[in-house]
Amino acid sequence: MVEKRINLTMTVMSLIGGIIGFIAGEIFINAYKYKMSGSLLMGFYFGIIALCIGTFCLVGEMINPRLNGVGWKNNYLKTSFKFLIPCTFIAIFVFGMLFQFIYESSGLKFQKVNDIVFVIDTSGSMANTDPQNERFSSVLNLMDNMNTQNRVSIYKFDDTSKRIIPMTEVSESLKKNAEEELKQYEIPAGNTNMGEAIDSAYNEINSTKRPGRKAAVILLSDGEDNFGLNKKFDETLKPFKDSNISIYTIGMSNENNFTTLKKIAKDTHGEYYNVKNASDLKGTFSKIYYATQQRLLVDRRDGLTESSTLYMILRVLLITIISGLITMSISFVFDNKNLLKRFLIGGIAAGFLGGLIMEVGFLNSPDHGSLYRALLVIMIALIFTLIPVIVDIKDYSKSSYLRGNQRTSFDKTKGNTFR
C-alpha cells in the first residue's frame, strides 16, 4: 500500500534552515565581496545555503520521520549525518564555483576597471549643494580603498574644465598630493560646462591607455550643462561608446531631475545615482567602484551586460540548475529515490521562480539585492518540501541502499532506493 505524504515538520525546519543560511550567506558576501574571487565566493555562498537547509531538513525528519520511517531513524540516522557535508556543502560548493565561472566568462567577458577619471563639479551652485565639500573627501576616501594597481585622474569643471591630477598609480604620495590640490577649489564659482569636462576625461583616458586595462569615468554634478552639450550630445559621447568606456553619473540635488546625467549614464552603459545628502557621497562612490570590480551570479549587473538578454537567460538558467542540485543533494542524504524525484522537481521550480524574481528585480530596482536573495533562498527551502512524496506504508521504513544485499529480496515495485 502506498500513499503520498508531506512532512510539515521538515517544511518548518527547512524554512528555519533557509533563513539561517540566508543570513550566514549575506554575512559572508558582505565580508568577502571584492576580497575573494567571484567563483570562490559563490561556491561558499551556495554551499552554506545547501548545508543549512539540508541540516534542518534532516533534523525535521529525525523529529518526525514521515518520509523515511522509524527504521531509518533508528538504524541509519548517523549515516545520513555523515553524508550531510559531502552531499550538500562540498558538492554544491563545487557547482557554485563552476556556475559563477560560467557566468563571468560567457558572452561579454567581465573585466575589472583599472583606471578611473573623477570629474567633479565646482560651479557656483555647489556652495549650497555641498557646503562641506564632501565630494572631495569622498574621492580621497575611495582612493584609500583602492590598491596600487589602480590609476586615477581628477578633473574639476565650472566655466571650463581643468585637470587637477593626471592619470597616476594610486599611492600614499598621490593621495596627499590630491588632498592639497583639491583644497584650491573649495570655494565654488562659475557655471556648468559639463561637455568640456567629458571631452577632457576621454582625452585623459585615450592619451594614457595601456593594453589590458579598462577605464571608466565618475561624473558628479548638481545641475544641467550650461554650454550647449545637448546640441552635440551624440558627438561628445561617441568616443566613449566606441571604446566601451562607461560613465557613472551622480546627481546631487532635490530640485533637479538630472535628465542629462541619466542619459549620459544610459548611453555609455554606466549607471546613474541620485544623492540627496552630501554625507551619502562616500557610500555612493564606493558602490560605483566596487560594482566595476566583480560580477556575481546573485548580484546586480552594470554596464553592457545590465540588460543583456544572454545574461538574463544565463542567470535564470544557472540559478534554476543549482537550486535543483541543492534539493537533489539533500535527497542523497536520505538515500531515498522517491525523495530525489520530488525534491528535484521542487528545487527546479523554486530556482526558476527565484531566478526570474531576481532578474526582474535587479533590472527595475537594483539596490535591493538582499531582498531578492532572501526570496530565492526561502523558495528553495520551502517548495521542494511541499511536493508530496510517494511512501510505501509497509516497506518504507526498510528502504536504503546502505543495507546492500539485505534487501535483494524486496519487491522492486515497492522500493524507495536509488539502486
416 lies in a domain? no
Residue 169: pLDDT above 80?
yes
The answer, yes or no, to whether residue 410 has pLDDT greater than 50, is no
Domain count of the fold of the chain: 2
Tell me the average pLDDT across 238-263.
87
Pairing of strands 389-392, 2-5: antiparallel
Q: Are 231 and 130 in contact (CB under 8 A)?
A: no
Q: Given this model, what pLDDT does residue 107 score?
A: 56
One domain, residues 138 and 53: no
**According to the model, what pLDDT value does residue 257 have?**
67
Angstrom distances, CA of residue 11 to CA of 60, 278, 380: 8, 47, 11
pLDDT digits (tens, 9 = 90+) for 75-121: 889 999 999 999 999 999 999 999 999 998 765 555 678 999 999 99
Backbone angles phi, psi at 359, to 5 degrees: -65, -50
Average pLDDT score over residue span 68-73: 86
Any domain includes 273: yes
Among residues 260, 293, 326, the one where a domain terminates is 293
> Cell triple for residue 342?
520530488
Cell numbers at 121, concatenated: 563639479
| Same domain flag for 146 and 283 | yes
Assigned domain for 69 exists = yes
Least confident of 120-124, 223-227, 405-409: 405-409
Residue 414 belongs to some domain of the structure: no
Are 234 and 165 found together in one domain?
A: yes
Kindly state whether residues 124 and 271 are assigned to the same domain.
yes
Residues 317 and 399 in one domain: yes
* Tens digit of each residue's pLDDT (9 = 90 or more) over 387-404: 998 887 665 544 443 444
- Cell representation of residue 344: 528535484
Looking at 293, 316, 335, the residue that finishes a domain is: 293
The crossing angle, in degrees rounded to 10, of helices 309-334 and 369-383 is 40
User: Are 224 and 204 members of one domain?
Assistant: yes
Are residues 70 and 147 located together in one domain of the fold? no
The CATH number of residue 218's host domain is 3.40.50.410
In this structure, what C-alpha cell is assigned to residue 65? Answer: 520521520
Distance between CA 178 and CA 109 in Å, rounded? 33
Distance CA 169, CA 149 (A): 7
Instruction: Judge if 135 and 198 occupy the same domain.
Output: yes
**Torsion angle in degrees (nearest 10) through CA of 404, 409, 410, 416:** 20
Q: Are residues 244 and 152 in the same domain?
A: yes
The better pLDDT of the pair 59, 3 is held by 59
**pLDDT per residue over 9-51, tens digit each?**
999 999 999 999 999 999 999 898 877 888 999 999 999 999 9
Residue 406 pLDDT: 44
Q: Are 269 and 401 members of one domain? A: no
Q: Kindly state whether residue 412 falls inside one of the protein's structural domains.
A: no
- Look up the domain containing 248 and give its range: 115-293
Q: In DSSP terms, which residues pair with 406 in a beta bridge?
A: none
